[in-house]
Chain A
Amino acid sequence: MRWLSKKKYKIGLMIPTLLVYSIFIILPIIIAVRYSFTKYSGIGQASFIGFKNYMRLFQDKIFWISLKNTMIMFVMAFVLLLTLSFLIALLLNKRLKAVDFSKALIFSPAIIAPIIVGIIWVYILDPNIGIINSILDVIGADGLKHKWIGGDTLSPYSIAVIYFWQQLGYLVTIFIAGLKMIPGDVLEAVKIDGASAVQEIRYVIIPMMRTTISTVAVLIITGVFKIFEIVQQTTGGGPNHLSETLVTYSYSMTFSSGDYGYGMSLATITFLLSLLITAVYSTLTKEREGSYGK
């Protein structure tokens, strides 16, 4: 098979993948960006209007609300998921009783379709029929009852919690796989040297898992910018767009309002934003990796 390793063959073999990638990823992005400079209802001809959609975007109150909501979800999901999934992975990596059962239990939400996740959580969070408010009612803690979803303020936080619940098991599994890659003799040596558990994590495990942590971080960043079904199922972006994320607002403008051009400008901004955050994160972690090396 040596002949396959020649550069020209490698390129040849990559062509189908590149084609698929170009047709289904790159081309739609280019088309979306192109439409973002047009006025288009989805039927007939699109007319070029320059940067008008982008100018409108910055004056659109709902755009800022959806950006704020996305950022709330991002910060909450990033902090909670990154830290807790790592800590749970550390715990599940130990030889404890019922560890396999716990792993299965934690992973189970990840195999439920997001739309079903949304339905489940409606029955937990709904202000009228939700379990939380019913329990608060029963125990006489009326003062703690809130509109967890469907109100003016709490929806993005609740959606972040749902996303956290759904993603936790998946990310824990990635971390456990990363932990398994750390050579056992290194950890043994650390213990012989008398390092505490915190020192072991701080000076050995985290540095050795930098690649896994980066992967998980990128997954969280890109994942948060794709939260769609949970919002649709729990609040539908309402009331009055107050719980929209960038992606649901883009969908709403594109398909409900038939404002394809404006919807695509929102999609473009979402794309650029997730790209920017990923780039910033990658740069920061690379710098840190550099400083570790010095």
Chain B
Amino acid sequence: MKNRNLKRLLSAVMIGAMTLSLITGCSGGGSKEAATDESGATVIKFGIHVANPAEQESVTNNIVEAFNKANEGKYKVEFEAADTETHSKNMKLKAEDGTLPQIFWIEGSEASEYSEAGVLLDLTDFLDENADIGTALGGMEAAFKDDNGQFGLPYQCNVQGIFYNKKIFDDAKVAYPTDETTYEDFLEMVKKLKDSGVTPLAIGSKNSAYAMWEFNEFLARYGWEENIGNILDGKDKFNNKELSACFEKLKGLKDANAFPENMATIEYFDAKQLFNEGKAAMFGTGQWDCAEFDKNIGDQIGFWWGPRFTDTQSSQDVVMKVPSAPIGVSASVADDEKLKEGVYEFLKFYYGEEAAKISYEGSIFPATNYEGAAASDSQYSMNVMIEALANGWASPQAAPDLTVSSAVQEALYDGIFGVLQGTYQPAEALDKLDAALANSK
């Protein structure tokens, strides 16, 4: 009998233990207290959108390493790394259960949603305390300010446009594009390049619809910045005269066979490979690919903002030097003075002169501007971008695709690639944008 009771008791205890472990296993278990490492340094978590920061975001990795070295035993920044999609999912889940890393990269179109949810720290006081950083940012931070305050700061500065391979242009006897090259010239250029047996403009849509940076310039030159406010307020539609003309131009490129035939089954990385291997004449991207182009294309690299359009009243003297997606600071950091101090120290370093130099060394434009920080002669790709920027043209406050919510952004990408692949007519693509906007309200 005793034995039986013991067994009962044992079973009950085991069941209870399993149940408890399950329940506790599901709980967040997060602590509000700042963690420290073995040396007693306060650990600051930095959620980043790449799985391997040392390889994929080497500049940020170098900045973090430099900060850690300078603050040994005091502060230590550690990455919470995951690929962009997983990172975005993780951050949303962590925002829900209050376990966001102290600093994290935010998908541009989602930044305002985080701000509205009140999970981000207002960084106004940080900028007030560090006026030199405010000056160095030169207004780049304005894109990440709303009624809740300064909810983020630009992760980097993105310079976007079309890189081209001069050798391919020379072989095809095609003149290099310039600031004066029109859309009609561009179509002619595409035709000649196509006839020479290369892919004129490499692009891939599979799992990478976001890779449309060259078309941000198209949108900007059709008055995106001037009109988007009215569109989002419901006073205008995406399917308007300007954007219709813009999307017609995209269709024109499709009709001219400007893109790889298999653009639907290749990704951004495959398209970049085509360009790196000299199989494509042009590739739309930003400064983050400079180091790769230096290695593969060297001094044969050229950079162009894109074609001018003659059927619009909007300014054509536009460059795309915009803040990239922001980094935000978790609002919970304010609960721990020591942690907040550490985070601010890191931000001071990240937006400081030394980090700017590290950025240039890695062919990345930092969000800040400091005298003396510049690219070296062997950084060909970055130098052609700097040369292109020397025209002094204005840039929009933010890249067009980052000025709308995720749902509308997705519809924008979908619409652009739909037209490029011939699955949507321009008007149909724009109607889908309007529908996405209506659904998101």
State the Cβ distance, B272 to closest chain A Cβ, in Å: 16
Output the residue of B88, B114, B423 with the most chain A CB within 10 A: B423
Q: How many angstroms from the CA of A19 to the CA of B18 in the assembled complex?
A: 10
| Interface check B110, CB cutoff 8 A | yes
State the Cβ distance, B235 to closest chain A Cβ, in Å: 23
- Whether the Cβ atoms of A259 and B407 lie closer than 8 Å is yes
| Interface check A236, CB cutoff 8 A | yes
Contacts of B119 in A (CB 8 A): 43
Q: How many angstroms from the CA of A292 to the CA of B439 in the assembled complex?
A: 53
User: Given the interface contacts A23-B26, A239-B417, does A255 sit within 8 Å of B113 by beta carbon?
Assistant: no
- Whether the Cβ atoms of A150 and B113 lie closer than 8 Å is no
- Whether the Cβ atoms of B418 and A240 lie closer than 8 Å is yes
Contacts of B261 in A (CB 8 A): 127-128
* Interface of chain A residues 39 through 75 with chain B (CB within 8 A): 41-45, 56
- Whether the Cβ atoms of A240 and B414 lie closer than 8 Å is yes
State the Cβ distance, A59 to closest chain B Cβ, in Å: 9
Contacts of B239 in A (CB 8 A): none
Please choose the segment from B89-97, B133-141, B282-290, B377-385 that sits at the chain A interface, where 4 or more of its residues have CB less than 8 A away: B89-97
- Whether the Cβ atoms of B417 and A16 lie closer than 8 Å is no
- Whether the Cβ atoms of B11 and A12 lie closer than 8 Å is yes
User: Given the interface contacts A43-B95, A258-B406, does A232 sit within 8 Å of B262 by beta carbon?
Assistant: no
Secondary structure of the A contact surface, majority rule: loop
State the Cβ distance, A17 to closest chain B Cβ, in Å: 10
Secondary structure of the B contact surface, majority rule: helix
User: Given the interface contacts A16-B15, A236-B205, does A41 sit within 8 Å of B406 by beta carbon?
Assistant: yes
- Whether the Cβ atoms of B116 and A44 lie closer than 8 Å is yes
State the Cβ distance, A240 to closest chain B Cβ, in Å: 4
| Interface check A234, CB cutoff 8 A | yes
Interface string of A1-44 (1 = CB under 8 A from B): 00100000100110110011001000000000000000001111
- Whether the Cβ atoms of B89 and A240 lie closer than 8 Å is no
Contacts of B208 in A (CB 8 A): 236
- Whether the Cβ atoms of A20 and B7 lie closer than 8 Å is no
Contacts of A236 in B (CB 8 A): 205-208, 267
Contacts of A258 in B (CB 8 A): 109-110, 113, 405-407, 410
State the Cβ distance, B285 to closest chain A Cβ, in Å: 19
Nearest residue (CB) in A for B409 is A257
- Whether the Cβ atoms of B423 and A152 lie closer than 8 Å is yes
- Whether the Cβ atoms of B265 and A126 lie closer than 8 Å is yes
Contacts of A43 in B (CB 8 A): 92, 95-96, 110, 113-114, 116-117, 119
Q: How many angstroms from the CA of A23 to the CA of B27 in the assembled complex?
A: 12
- Whether the Cβ atoms of A16 and B18 lie closer than 8 Å is yes
The one of B12, B19, B114, B264 that contacts A150, using a Cβ cutoff of 8 Å: B264
- Whether the Cβ atoms of B22 and A44 lie closer than 8 Å is no
Q: How many angstroms from the CA of A56 to the CA of B440 in the assembled complex?
A: 12
* Interface of chain A residues 196 through 232 with chain B (CB within 8 A): 232
The one of B4, B116, B264 that contacts A238, using a Cβ cutoff of 8 Å: B264
Contacts of B209 in A (CB 8 A): 238
* Interface of chain B residues 69 through 128 with chain A (CB within 8 A): 85, 88-89, 92, 95-96, 109-110, 113-114, 116-119
State the Cβ distance, A246 to closest chain B Cβ, in Å: 18
Contacts of A242 in B (CB 8 A): 423
Contacts of B85 in A (CB 8 A): 255-256
Interface string of A245-275 (1 = CB under 8 A from B): 0000000100111110010000000000000
| Interface check A179, CB cutoff 8 A | no
Number of interface residues of B (CB under 8 A): 50
Contacts of A103 in B (CB 8 A): none
* Interface of chain B residues 396 through 441 with chain A (CB within 8 A): 405-407, 410-411, 414, 417-418, 421, 423-424, 436, 439-440
| Interface check A89, CB cutoff 8 A | no
| Interface check B154, CB cutoff 8 A | no
Contacts of B326 in A (CB 8 A): none
- Whether the Cβ atoms of B89 and A239 lie closer than 8 Å is no
Nearest residue (CB) in B for A133 is B262
The one of B11, B19, B421 that contacts A240, using a Cβ cutoff of 8 Å: B421
| Interface check B260, CB cutoff 8 A | yes
Nearest residue (CB) in A for B423 is A240
Contacts of A241 in B (CB 8 A): 414
Contacts of A262 in B (CB 8 A): 439
Contacts of A178 in B (CB 8 A): none
User: Given the interface contacts A42-B92, A122-B265, A256-B410, does A239 sit within 8 Å of B116 by beta carbon?
Assistant: no
- Whether the Cβ atoms of B262 and A129 lie closer than 8 Å is yes
Q: How many angstroms from the CA of A81 to the CA of B252 in the assembled complex?
A: 44
- Whether the Cβ atoms of A149 and B439 lie closer than 8 Å is no
Contacts of A239 in B (CB 8 A): 205, 263-264, 417-418, 421, 423
User: Given the interface contacts A150-B265, A257-B410, does A238 sit within 8 Å of B205 by beta carbon?
Assistant: yes
Contacts of A16 in B (CB 8 A): 15, 18-19, 22
State the Cβ distance, B261 to closest chain A Cβ, in Å: 6
State the Cβ distance, A126 to closest chain B Cβ, in Å: 5
State the Cβ distance, A48 to closest chain B Cβ, in Å: 16
Contacts of A9 in B (CB 8 A): 11
Q: How many angstroms from the CA of A252 to the CA of B406 in the assembled complex?
A: 11
Q: How many angstroms from the CA of A43 to the CA of B74 in the assembled complex?
A: 33
User: Given the interface contacts A23-B22, A44-B113, A240-B414, does A127 sit within 8 Å of B439 by beta carbon?
Assistant: no
| Interface check A235, CB cutoff 8 A | yes
Q: How many angstroms from the CA of A126 to the CA of B262 in the assembled complex?
A: 7
Nearest residue (CB) in A for B17 is A16
The one of A15, A44, A126 that contacts B19, using a Cβ cutoff of 8 Å: A15
Contacts of B18 in A (CB 8 A): 16, 19
Known: A147-B264, A235-B264, A238-B205. 15 other contacts (CB 8 A): A3-B7, A13-B11, A43-B96, A43-B110, A43-B113, A44-B113, A45-B117, A128-B265, A235-B206, A238-B421, A239-B263, A240-B414, A258-B113, A259-B406, A259-B407
Can you give 27 A-B contacts (C-beta < 8 A)?
Answer: A3-B7, A12-B12, A12-B15, A13-B11, A15-B15, A16-B18, A16-B22, A41-B110, A42-B96, A43-B92, A43-B95, A43-B116, A44-B118, A56-B439, A128-B260, A128-B261, A128-B265, A149-B265, A150-B263, A151-B264, A236-B207, A239-B205, A240-B414, A240-B418, A256-B406, A257-B436, A259-B439
9 cross-chain pairs, A with B, having the tightest CB-CB distances, nearest first: A150-B264, A44-B117, A258-B406, A150-B265, A128-B262, A239-B264, A42-B92, A236-B206, A236-B207
